[in-house]
Amino acid sequence: MEESYFDIIDIQAQAEIQGAPELYIRAGSLLRLVCTLKHSTEPPAFVFWFHEQRMINYDQGISVVESRSSSILHLQDADKSHNGNYTCSPSNAVPASINVHVLNATADLKSISSCTEP
């Protein structure tokens, strides 16, 4: 009698945010976060987005487009209040996070030029 052996591999579905772990954007620009599902056998029942551990309210200039394997968060006219940690949390996958840094171009240019002056 011949014995058979099978290795059982437990692959857990995971979320992944493009550009993680850090994203830098200019103030006034569009913040676009793309969360994709990896190793998922079925689409999630829902995907929640969080900013600094608080669920995002979609009626504040924020929209979300969802497909079978992704969720895309759009935020118009980003400013310093949008700095921080964003988390994509699908119902059937391990969540993913990204740190967003909104840069004020004018202030950043002033600090750079003051460092280069004699």
Residue-range domain boundaries for the chain = 14-116
- What's the whole-model pTM score? 0.80
Four-way CATH pick for 14-116: 2.30.30.30, 1.10.1740.10, 3.40.50.10860, 2.60.40.10: 2.60.40.10
Mean pLDDT of each 10-residue bin along the chain, 118 residues long: 70 95 97 96 95 90 93 96 98 98 73 48
- With beta carbons less than 8 A apart as the criterion, state whether 81 and 94 touch: no
Give the pLDDT score at 88: 98
Residue carrying structure tokens 């969802």? 66
Give the pLDDT score at 112: 38
- With beta carbons less than 8 A apart as the criterion, state whether 62 and 100 touch: no
Give the pLDDT score at 109: 45
Residue 110 CA to residue 86 CA, distance in Å, equals 29
Give the pLDDT score at 1: 61
Give burial (CB, 10 Å; 0-12/13-18/19+) of 83: middle
